[in-house]
Chain A
Amino acid sequence: MSKPLKQIHLAAHFPGVNNTTVWSDPEAGSHIEFSSFAHFAKTAERAKFDFLFLAEGLRLREQGGKIYDLDVVGRPDTFTVLAALAAVTEHLGLTGTINSTFNEPYEVARQFASLDHLSGGRSAWNVVTSWDAFTGENFRRGGFLPQEERYSRAKEFLATTQELFDSWHGDEILADQASGVFLRDAKAGSFVHTGQHFDIHGQFNVPRSPQGRPVIFQAGDSEEGREFAASSADAIFSRYATLKEGQAFYTDVKNRLAKYGRRHDQLLILPAASFALADTDAEAEELARTVRRQQVSGATALKHLEFVWNRDLSSYDPDGPLPDIDPDVSDNHISKGRAQVRMYRDPLATAREWRELAAANNWSIRDLVINTGNRQNFIGSPETIARTINAYVQADASDGFILVPHITPTGLDAFADKVVPLLQEQGVFRTDYEGPTLRHHLGLAHPDDVQDEQRVAS
């Protein structure tokens, strides 16, 4: 008998501050108005997606000392939008990226527990870390965390919030009007945490929420990031949406679970993926090319090169050849507030490679940027995309995908209407939600049941 088919998990990333988001298209709507978020969330829920995902940025990006003005700029507050979306959806999970550097555990735990109550058990937290003093200039902490401490703070932050969530067991509120006993236990919510980063104690004031704890997501690809995810996350938000890279990442991370006493299915691997969908494969290829040119204007191409060169390249012609000067390898001073800048670990080698590529293909600066970045992960007709996504999941390149459309807020509509029914026909995607909470959608046990299981096992 053949192996049963894996069920695919699908989620939707609201397009925002990123040069993959096309704002110049006549269809592009607001990135701020609630109606955009409501439309996007309702589409995702109509398609029975697991959850909606919001990224975060706590300082406007700068390039060359000025606010970056070529991409979408601005976004609303994550918690506030998710709470409002809970009012216009019934099942969709609500995942927010919240930084552990510029927040405190007590407040974040209150907000996630509140969101979980107000959504009937649909909250999830993508735990991210930051260390840069640039973002820190907006916060009391003033700034900064030594880079080597960011994971230790994140780990302790997460562990502390879990202690706060667990400080209520769920049976404390009696609210017996006849006897006058509201609380079974006057000590409900008591906690003491003493550690390197947090030394706090008292009483947590939000009772246990429907999911017990929000679902925990983790992004981050370093060795430490992978270990952190294997030890503590319910799902990992990866960037490997290709087959081979996806499989390598999948195997690596899943193999780390055993040493933390966790099973393969206790950590889902969900890469972010973009797509170009049209009626035929040929039309989709054409659409993909058009979108890439919309994503990378000449001005954007120059700015993108500046991430690597770490120099002002505004005098160059984006339709001309690459700069023949080498990157400035001193500390980055050109781009601030961007994660992707750190991806280029060896700028000299990257520049050399890019110059060779451009020369070999007769590419201009803009051609190079279009051809080396932001290629859509899935391009084709509904049939092609459905087949490819399913093949990747069955081949353990991932457990599903977090789709990042390039248009706000309608970028998911065609996928919902055309691709999802094909996945449902193949029996690899739900036709209806099985339960009310995000843990149900993701096939994750309630934390209390996991603890029971571990108690029995030990």
Chain B
Amino acid sequence: MSPSPSLLHLAVALDGTGWHPASWREPVARPRELFTAGYWAHLVAEAERGLLDFVTIEDGLGPQSSHFLDPDERTDQVRGRLDAVLIASRIAPLTRHIGLVPTAVVTHTEPFHISKAIATLDYVSTGRAGLRVQITARPGEAAHFGRRTIPRIEAYDSPGAQELVTDLFDEAADYVEAVRRLWDSWEDDAEIRDAATGRFIDRDKLHYIDFEGKHFSVKGPSITPRPPQGQPLVTALGHQTVPYRLIARQADVGYVTPHETDEARAIVAEIRAEQETAGRSEELLHVFGDLVVFLDDDPAEAAARRDRLDVLAGEPYTSDARIFTGTPSQLADLLGEFQAAGLTGFRLRPAVAGHDLPAITRGLVPELQRRGAFRTDYEADTLRGLLGLTRPANRYAAA
């Protein structure tokens, strides 16, 4: 089901000092504070000031790198990061409306642990939690765990690589399925506190999930009761058919990276077809476009800033997502075009967090509001509510 086309949804993707590798060198960047709670609190407060739907927080189980699959030895870029779920939780009591969507790497972690962690984030934030699931094919990260080896991908289009990636995404789908079942493993009214019989819970309203998959099995039930949203938001980024299938089967929000409107239209069509195949055509599934943004009042200034950062980085910045350089008004035009092509929202990646995030909240948002394309106040108390998603029925509850 496609959401109503009037308002668009906006998220920002937070990653260190910003998505440009030289962003930390900007005067606004505060790189020495990256590992403090105050740094993240400041960014998320700014995003909430702009009435954004949610923030995502990037994560990884190894050092950042300029190579896709291997660590590098660079000392001129930000290295090191804190656990994203814990950052989100640390910020939750300091915010009131904005959704908090940390990244979890599903290849090496436990679905039982992440299920209760995100359920708890939902309690801590009173209904504003989400999860962005991510796989990793880095052999080095597998070596940090030592439980499995992941063969090095030599050529992305080789059958071996395709097989590996498909297997990792199938595992991610299993992971999300186990997590979702765990969230439902307590019915909403399972806690009864019946003093007459001495029973704290009605155990008939707790359910074993009995998940069996290729890589793991989980018995359940969760140790954490069903979270306030019932099902916190599940999100994933995809660039091709295999991850689109994960989005279509399991996600509430998929992030995609079209560079042109025709491409956006094709991707949305593919995801909607997969959604139908998965039997979810009646469910609301958002498809958000990811864009890296350099925003300034003067387009030349934005372009000059990008050039300046590229010189500092020693190479032109490239990305999987389209890189936008220009004014908030120009970006609003572009988002409108993408929206007309079927995208229901956008996850903007600020090139420099300290500069481009305020440019989004104080420049782009008012511009979208003037056009009647964005909310003027938070209209719901939960993240699902902000995105127009209803609170789902519990799959185990007797009808």
Chain A interface residues toward B at CB < 8 A: 23-24, 32-34, 38, 57-60, 66-67, 69-77, 79-81, 83-84, 86-88, 102-104, 106-107, 110-111, 113-115, 117-120, 137-140, 142, 168, 173, 175, 177, 180-189, 198-203, 205-207, 297-300
Cβ B147 vs Cβ A104 within 8 A = yes
Cβ A181 vs Cβ B75 within 8 A = yes
Cβ A180 vs Cβ B203 within 8 A = no
CB distance from A34 to the nearest CB of B (A): 5
Contacts known (A33-B123, A200-B146, A297-B198); A182 close to B206, Cβ less than 8 A: no
Chain B interface residues toward A at CB < 8 A: 22, 24-27, 29, 31-32, 34-37, 60-64, 71, 73-83, 85-87, 89-94, 108-110, 112-113, 116-117, 119-121, 123-124, 126, 140-141, 143-147, 186, 191, 193, 195, 197-203, 206, 215-221, 223-225, 312
Please name 21 pairs of A and B residues whose Cβ atoms are closer than 8 Å in the assembled complex, sorted by A.
Answer: A70-B199, A73-B206, A76-B119, A77-B117, A79-B85, A80-B116, A106-B144, A106-B145, A117-B36, A138-B220, A139-B218, A140-B216, A182-B75, A182-B77, A186-B74, A200-B144, A202-B62, A202-B143, A205-B79, A206-B81, A206-B83
Cβ A118 vs Cβ B145 within 8 A = no
Of the listed residues A83, A168, A177, A183, the one surrounded by the most CB atoms of chain B closer than 10 A to its CB is A83
CB distance from A66 to the nearest CB of B (A): 6
Contacts known (A38-B93, A69-B202); A205 close to B120, Cβ less than 8 A: no
Contacts known (A57-B223, A69-B200, A77-B224); A34 close to B124, Cβ less than 8 A: yes
In angstroms, Cα B197 to Cα A181, docked, is: 66
Q: A73-B200, A206-B35 are in contact. List 10 more A-B contacts (CB 8 A).
A: A59-B223, A75-B224, A83-B89, A87-B91, A88-B93, A111-B86, A113-B82, A173-B35, A175-B24, A202-B140
When C-beta atoms are compared, the residue in chain A nearest to B313 turns out to be A180
CB distance from A280 to the nearest CB of B (A): 28
Q: When the two chains form the complex, which single residue of A70, A84, A119, A206 contacts B93, counting CB atoms closer than 8 Å?
A: A84
Cβ A205 vs Cβ B86 within 8 A = no
CB distance from A167 to the nearest CB of B (A): 11
When C-beta atoms are compared, the residue in chain A nearest to B21 turns out to be A182
CB distance from A37 to the nearest CB of B (A): 8
CB distance from B26 to the nearest CB of A (A): 8
In angstroms, Cα B196 to Cα A299, docked, is: 11
Cβ A77 vs Cβ B119 within 8 A = yes
Contacts known (A83-B90, A200-B146); A182 close to B113, Cβ less than 8 A: no
Chain A residues closer than 8 Å to B78, beta-carbon distance: 182
Cβ A140 vs Cβ B123 within 8 A = no
CB distance from A65 to the nearest CB of B (A): 11
Chain A residues closer than 8 Å to B92, beta-carbon distance: 84, 87
CB distance from A158 to the nearest CB of B (A): 16
Cβ B223 vs Cβ A75 within 8 A = yes
Cβ B90 vs Cβ A118 within 8 A = yes
Cβ A177 vs Cβ B27 within 8 A = yes
CB distance from B86 to the nearest CB of A (A): 4
Q: When the two chains form the complex, which single residue of B32, B89, B215, B221 contacts A173, counting CB atoms closer than 8 Å?
A: B32
Of the listed residues A110, A137, A203, the one surrounded by the most CB atoms of chain B closer than 10 A to its CB is A203
Contacts known (A80-B117, A84-B124, A106-B144); A74 close to B79, Cβ less than 8 A: no
Cβ A114 vs Cβ B93 within 8 A = no
Cβ B225 vs Cβ A32 within 8 A = yes
Chain B residues closer than 8 Å to A177, beta-carbon distance: 24-27, 29, 31
CB distance from A94 to the nearest CB of B (A): 11
CB distance from A383 to the nearest CB of B (A): 34
Cβ A70 vs Cβ B198 within 8 A = yes
Chain B residues closer than 8 Å to A38, beta-carbon distance: 93
Of the listed residues B35, B85, B140, the one surrounded by the most CB atoms of chain A closer than 10 A to its CB is B35
Contacts known (A24-B193, A34-B123); A206 close to B80, Cβ less than 8 A: yes
When C-beta atoms are compared, the residue in chain A nearest to B95 turns out to be A87
Of the listed residues B36, B147, B201, the one surrounded by the most CB atoms of chain A closer than 10 A to its CB is B201
Cβ B79 vs Cβ A79 within 8 A = no
In angstroms, Cα B124 to Cα A201, docked, is: 35
In angstroms, Cα B62 to Cα A67, docked, is: 39
Cβ B198 vs Cβ A188 within 8 A = no
Cβ B144 vs Cβ A58 within 8 A = no
Of the listed residues B26, B32, B124, the one surrounded by the most CB atoms of chain A closer than 10 A to its CB is B124
Cβ A139 vs Cβ B112 within 8 A = yes
When C-beta atoms are compared, the residue in chain B nearest to A168 turns out to be B80
Cβ A81 vs Cβ B198 within 8 A = no
In angstroms, Cα B179 to Cα A77, docked, is: 14
CB distance from B393 to the nearest CB of A (A): 20
CB distance from B36 to the nearest CB of A (A): 7
Chain A residues closer than 8 Å to B225, beta-carbon distance: 32, 74
Cβ B24 vs Cβ A182 within 8 A = yes
Chain A residues closer than 8 Å to B147, beta-carbon distance: 104, 140
In angstroms, Cα B71 to Cα A83, docked, is: 29
Contacts known (A106-B144, A175-B31, A300-B198); A77 close to B120, Cβ less than 8 A: yes
Cβ A104 vs Cβ B198 within 8 A = no
In angstroms, Cα B123 to Cα A175, docked, is: 36
Cβ A80 vs Cβ B200 within 8 A = no
Q: When the two chains form the complex, which single residue of A106, A199, A205 contacts B81, counting CB atoms closer than 8 Å?
A: A205
Closest CB pairs A-B (n = 10): A137-B219, A80-B120, A114-B83, A83-B89, A76-B120, A175-B31, A77-B120, A114-B82, A186-B73, A83-B86
